[in-house]
Amino acid sequence: MIDGKILIRPMSIDDAVDFNRLVGVVAREHRYLRFLDAPSMEGTVNFLRDSLAAGNPHLAAVADGELVGWCDVCRHSFEIEAHVGRLGIGLAPEFRGRGFGKALLDVTIAAAERLDFQRIELTAFADNHRAIALYETRGFVREGIMRAAARFGDAYRDIVQMARLAPSLSDNDATTAEAAD
C-alpha cells in the first residue's frame, strides 16, 4: 500500500538490520522508548524471527527504499492471554507529524484484528502527547497510570497503560461480572 510518500508492507527477517538501526535512532532520543539504545543485533534477529514465526503482524514503513517506521503487535504467551497483543510503533524523526503514524497504525490494527487479536495494549510515557492523541483517535483508552515508573537520569516519568478492544468485545460488559466469582 502506498500512502503519500511511504510504502507500508509486511516486515521480513531481511529487515532485521535496518529495524535494529531504526530502533536505535528512536531509543537514543531518550523520550519515547524504554530502551536507551538499540538492542543487540542478535537480540533483534531472534526477536523478529521468533515473532514472525509466531504469526505476529510486523509492518514496515519504507521511503525511497529505506526503513523509516515499524509497527508490530506481539501476542502474549499465556494461554488465557492469547487474545492479547502488545503494540509497538516508531517513525524516524523526519517522518513524524505527517500522518504516516496514523496510516501505519491503521494497517497494523487491521492486520491484528484479522489475526483475531481482541485486545491490543500498549504503554506510553505520559508526556508523549502525540502518540497518546493518536492512540485515542484509534479507540485506545487509558486504563491507568504507573507513577514514576521510568527514570531517565534524575527525571522520573509516568507511564500510561492503554488498550483497544475489538468491536466484538467492546460491547460485552458481562466480561468482568462473570469473572467476579
Ligand X SMILES: CC(C)(COP(=O)(O)OP(=O)(O)OC[C@H]1O[C@@H](n2cnc3c(N)ncnc32)[C@H](O)[C@@H]1OP(=O)(O)O)[C@@H](O)C(=O)NCCC(=O)NCCS
113 by DSSP, 3-state: which? Answer: helix
Give the residue among 149, 111, 112, 99 at the shortest CA–CA distance from 127. 149
Asked whether position 101 contacts ligand X by CB under 6 A, the answer is yes
Q: How far is CA 39 from CA 27, 36, 45, 82, 170, in A?
A: 9, 9, 10, 26, 35
Among 63, 134, 149, 159, indicate the residue that binds ligand X (CB under 6 A): 134
In sequence order, what are the residues at sequence separation of 6 or more whose Cβ sits closer than 8 angstroms to the Cβ of residue 16?
Answer: 41, 44, 45, 48, 49
Nearer to ligand X, 82 or 141 (CB): 141
Nearer to ligand X, 112 or 124 (CB): 124
Nearer to ligand X, 82 or 145 (CB): 145
Q: What does the per-residue mask of binding to ligand X show for 10-49, with x meaning CB under 6 A?
A: ----------------x-----x-----------------
- Shortest distance in whole angstroms from residue 98 CB to ligand X: 5
Q: Which segment (10-18, 59-67, 132-140, 149-157) binds ligand X by CB under 6 A?
A: 132-140
- Shortest distance in whole angstroms from residue 135 CB to ligand X: 8
Nearer to ligand X, 82 or 129 (CB): 129
Among 20, 108, 118, 128, indicate the residue that binds ligand X (CB under 6 A): 128
Q: What CA–CA distance (Å, rounded) separates 148 from 170?
A: 30
Q: What CA–CA distance (Å, rounded) separates 66 from 36?
A: 23
Q: What CA–CA distance (Å, rounded) separates 50 from 167?
A: 29
- Shortest distance in whole angstroms from residue 66 CB to ligand X: 15
Amino acid at 137: T
Q: Which of residues 81-100 bind ligand X (CB under 6 A)?
A: 89-91, 96-100
The upper half-sphere exposure of residue 159, i.e. CA atoms within 13 Å in the direction of its Cβ, equals 15
Q: Which positions touch ligand X (CB under 6 A)?
A: 26, 32, 89-91, 96-102, 122, 124, 128-131, 133-134, 137
